[in-house]
Amino acid sequence: MLKAVGGTALAAALAGCSSLIGAGTNQDTSGEVSDVPDEPIQAGLQTFTEGPAAVLGLQSQYGAELAVERINAAGGIAGREIQLDVKHEADAYVENYTQFVSEGKEVTFGPVSSGGHAALAPEVEAQGVVNVSTDGTVTTLYEETVPDPTYSFRFQNYDVMECVSAARETVNRLGAENVNTVAGINPNYAFGKDEWKVYTTALQKLTDVEIVYEGFPDLLADDMSTHITEINNQQPDVTFSSQWGGDVVTMMNQAAANNMFDNTQLVGTVLYSAVNDLSQDIVEQAQAFSGSRNYYWGEPEPSRWSPGQKMLDDARSKWDIIPSGHFMSGYGAVASWATATEKAVNLLGGWPSQEQIAMSLEGHGFFTPAGYHVMSERHQGLSTTYFGEMGWSGDVGAPVLNDINSYSPPDVSPPPGTKSIDWIESW
Amino acid sequence: MRNRLPGLVSRDGERKVRVMRGLELTLRQTALALVGLLFLFALPDIARLSPTIQLSVLHQGVVFGLAAVGLNLLVRHTQLVSFGHAAFFGTGAYTTALLAAKYNVTEFALLLIAGMLLATLMAMLIGYLSLRHTGLYFSLLTLAFGQLLYALVQGQAFFGSSDGLPVRPGPNMRPDIFGLALPPDAYEVLMYYLTVVLVVVSLLVMWRLINSPFGAALDAIGQDRTRAQFIGIPVRRYVWLAFVVSAVYGGMAGALYAMVQQHVRPGPVLYFLRSGDILFMAILGGYQTLLGPLVGGIVLVLLQDMGRDLTNYFDALTGLVLLALVFGFPQGIVGSLKKGGRVRNAASSFKDDPAVIGSWLSSFTESLVTAASRSVQNVKVLVFGVK
Sequence-separated (6 or more) residues with CB below 8 Å from residue A65: A84, A86, A330
pLDDT computed for residue B340 by the predictor: 75
Q: Under an 8 A CB cutoff, do B308 and A114 touch?
A: no
Sign of the torsion formed by the C-alpha atoms of B331, B332, B336 and B337: negative
CB contact at 8 A, A323 and A311: yes
B53: left (phi over 0), alpha (psi -120 to 50) or beta: beta
Cβ pair A92:B305 closer than 8 A: yes
Give the Å distances, CA to CA, from A80 to A41, A83, A145, A230.
6, 10, 34, 58
Q: What is the predicted pLDDT for the residue at A25? A: 46
Read off the DSSP letter of residue A351.
P
Q: In whole angstroms, what is the distance from residue A124 CA to residue A337 CA?
A: 15
Residue B360's SS3 state is helix
**Strand, coil or helix: what is A349?**
coil
Q: In whole angstroms, how far apart are CA A337 and each of A46, A307, A353, A356? A: 16, 20, 13, 12
Enclosing H/E stretch for A421: helix A420-425
Q: Which residues of A touch B168 (CB under 8 A)?
A: 122
- How many other C-beta atoms lie within 10 A of the C-beta of residue B211? 14
Interchain contact B319–A (C-beta under 8 A): no
* Whether residue A22 has pLDDT greater than 90: no
3-state secondary structure of B358: helix
A88, A188, A193 member nearest B308 (Cβ): A88
Burial of B110 (C-beta count, 10 Å sphere; 0-12/13-18/19+): middle
Grouping H, G, I as helix, E, B as strand and the rest as coil, residue B211 is: coil
Q: Provide CB contacts within 8 A for A26, sequence distance 6+.
A: none
**A88 at the B interface (CB within 8 A)?**
yes
For A134-193, what is the HEC assignment?
A: CCCCCCCHHHHHCCCCCCEEECCCCHHHHHHHHHHHHHHHHCHHHCCEEEEECCCCHHHH
8 Å CB contact of A118 and B262: no
> Quick check: B56 contacting A, CB < 8 Å?
yes
Q: Is the per-residue pLDDT at A33 higher than 80?
A: no
The dihedral formed by the CA atoms of A304, A305, A306 and A309, expressed in degrees to the nearest 10: -100
A125/B265 touch (CB, cutoff 8 Å), yes or no: no
Calpha distance B114→B124 (Å, rounded):
15
Q: Mean pLDDT over residues A391-399, rounded?
A: 93
Cα distances (Å, whole numbers) of residue A113 to A134, A144, A163: 9, 17, 18
Please name which of A229, A201, A198 lies closest in space to residue A215, comparing C-alpha atoms. Answer: A229
| Nearest CB neighbour to A95, from listed B56, B157, B160 | B56
CB < 8 Å from A in window 230-249 of B: none
Closest CA to A214 of A252, A181, A166: A181
A170 pLDDT more than 60: yes
Instruction: Tell me which range, A166-170, A303-307, A414-418, is most confidently predicted by mean pLDDT.
Output: A166-170
Nearest chain A residue to B261 by CA: give it. A94
Residues 6+ apart with CB under 8 A from B203: B69, B290, B291, B294
Instruction: Please give the interface size between A and B, counted as residue pairs whose CB atoms are below 8 Å apart.
Output: 72
* Helices assigned H by DSSP within chain B: 27-49, 55-72, 86-102, 108-130, 135-155, 184-210, 213-223, 225-230, 235-261, 266-270, 272-285, 292-310, 314-328, 332-337, 342-352, 356-384
% of chain A exceeding 90 in pLDDT: 78
Which of left, alpha, beta for A34 (phi over 0: left; psi -120 to 50: alpha)?
A: beta
> With bands split at pLDDT 50, 70 and 90, how would you rate the model's confidence at A32?
low
Instruction: For residue A299, report the phi and psi dihedrals to the nearest 5 degrees.
Output: -130, 125
What does each C-alpha distance from B372 to B62, B323, B369 come to in angstroms? 42, 19, 5
pLDDT at position B308 is: 79
Least confident of A380-394, B42-56, B276-290: B42-56
**A84 DSSP assignment:** E
Q: Report the distance separating Cα A333 and Cα A337, nearest Å.
A: 6
SS3 B272: helix
pLDDT confidence tier of residue B160, bands split at 50, 70 and 90: confident
Q: Do A102 and B54 touch (CB under 8 A)?
A: yes
Work out whether the CA dihedral B192, B196, B197, B201 comes out positive or negative: positive
Write out chain B residues lying below 8 Å of A88, CB-based.
308, 312, 314
Q: Does B151 touch chain A (CB under 8 A)?
A: no
Model confidence over B89-141: pLDDT tens digits? 999 999 999 999 999 999 999 999 999 999 999 999 999 999 988 888 999 99
Q: At what angle do helices B235-261 and B184-210 cross, to 10 degrees?
A: 170
> Which pLDDT does position B252 carry in this prediction?
98
**Partner A contacted by B170 (CB < 8 A):** no
Candidates A123, A158, A219, partner chain B, best to mutate (most B CBs within 10 A): A123
Q: Is the pLDDT of residue A374 over 90?
A: yes
**What is the pLDDT of chain B when averaged over all its residues?**
89
Tell me the β-bridge partners of A290. Answer: A268, A388
User: Is A195 near chain B, with CB under 8 Å?
Assistant: no
Q: A198 to chain B, minimum CA–CA distance in Å?
A: 15
For A27, list phi and psi in degrees, rounded to 5. Answer: -70, -10
Helix ranges (DSSP H) in A297-404: 306-319, 325-348, 354-361
Give the residue from A99, A135, A139 with the most B CB atoms within 10 Å of its CB, the best one to mutate: A99
Q: Is B184 on the interface with A (CB under 8 A)?
A: yes
Q: Is B13 helix (H, G, I), strand (E, B) or coil?
A: coil
Q: What is the pLDDT of residue A30?
A: 44
3-state secondary structure of B124: helix
Judged by a CB distance cut-off of 8 A, whether residue B156 touches chain A is no
Task: Please name the member of A102, A115, A145 whose beta carbon is closest to the beta carbon of B51.
Answer: A102
pTM, two decimals, is: 0.85
| Tens digits of residue pLDDT in B59-98 | 999 999 999 999 999 999 999 999 999 999 999 999 999 9
pLDDT of residue A393: 94
CB proximity B173 to A under 8 Å = yes
pLDDT band at A245 (very low <50, low <70, confident <90, very high): confident
Residues 124-183 of A with CB under 8 A from B: 125-127, 138, 145
pLDDT in tens, A120-136: 999 999 899 999 999 99
- Residue A27 pLDDT more than 80? no
Task: Give chain B positions within 8 Å (CB) of A92.
Answer: 305, 308
Residue A240's DSSP bridge partners are A184, A267
- Dihedral of CA atoms A244, A246, A248, A249 in degrees, nearest 10, equals 160
* Partners of residue A104 in chain B, C-beta under 8 Å: 51
In whole angstroms, give the CA distance from residue B107 to residue B179.
7
Note the pLDDT of residue B15.
Answer: 82
Band of pLDDT at residue A26, cut at 50, 70 and 90:
very low
C-alpha distance from residue B245 to each of A157, B70, B127, B215 (Å)? 49, 7, 11, 12
With a CB cutoff of 8 Å and minimum separation 6, the contacts of B101 are B160, B165, B166, B167, B168, B169
Stretch A163-176: mean pLDDT: 96
- Which three-class secondary structure state does DSSP give residue B229? helix
B221 backbone dihedrals φ, ψ, rounded to 5°: -65, -40
pLDDT in tens, B212-232: 999 999 999 999 999 999 999
Does the beta-carbon distance from B267 to A91 stay under 8 Å?
A: yes
% of residues, chain B, pLDDT over 70: 98
pLDDT of amino acid A6 = 64
Question: Does A52 have pLDDT greater than 60?
Answer: yes
- Whether A49 sits inside 8 A of B57 (CB atoms) is no
User: B165 pLDDT band (50/70/90 cuts)?
Assistant: very high
- Collapsing DSSP to helix, strand or coil, A404 comes out as strand
B325: pLDDT strictly greater than 50: yes
Helix (H) or strand (E) holding A96: helix A93-102
Nearest in space to A210 (alpha carbons), one of A249, A184, A246, A247: A184
HSE toward the beta carbon, residue A292, CA cutoff 13 A:
28
Q: Name which of A232-246, B196-210, B295-309 the model is least confident about.
A: B295-309
Task: Please give the average per-residue pLDDT across A169-193, as a whole number.
Answer: 94
Q: Which of A95, A122, A127 sits opposite B305 (nearest CB)?
A: A95
